[in-house]
Amino acid sequence: MKEFALDDRLANDSVAVTITGLCDVRLMKDRRWPWLVLIPRRPDKSEVFDLTPLDRVLLTFETDKVASALKTLTGATKINVGALGNIVRQLHVHVIARFEGDANWPGPVWGYGKAEPYSDEDMNSLIAKLRETLSQ
């Protein structure tokens, strides 16, 4: 059986937060939007329907848990959830906190401007809060 390997682009554009039952949860390196990505730890999957029925249920449960945690921590106006995969084919689900007046509100985040890095302090603080919230 082939082993799970994280796509290089996802690895470079994000930092590890935690591993849930199914997914790697990672924070995108762009402070304009609190933006998490869930990557099911299954090799060679590019579509949700490629997963087993049980894995699809787990992905839905974990996406909901991460989205709820992100909304609680950020007080976001809206949580956007999407699985696009046009550029990075490895199955991954974006969970993005949006705020009225944020960069490109109410438009999409993809392709808008240039990523703005977190300070180490802000990134580490957010990751610690996410880990704490997700472990409850």
The pTM for the full model equals: 0.95
At 4 the pLDDT is 94
At 30 the pLDDT is 97
At 13 the pLDDT is 97
The three-class DSSP label of residue 108 is: coil
Buried residues in 24-46 as b, exposed as e (16+ CB within 10 A) = bbbbbebbbbbbbbbbbbbeebe
Half-sphere exposure (Cβ direction) of 8: Cα atoms closer than 13 Å = 0
Structure confidence at residue 85 as a pLDDT band (50, 70, 90): confident
Q: Give the CA distances from residue 68 to residues 52, 76, 99, in Å, rounded to whole numbers and listed in that order.
A: 24, 10, 15
* CATH homologous superfamily for the domain 8-135: HIT-like (3.30.428.10)
At 1 the pLDDT is 73
With residue 53 as reference, give the H or E element that holds it: helix 53-74
At 21 the pLDDT is 93
What is residue 74's DSSP assignment? H
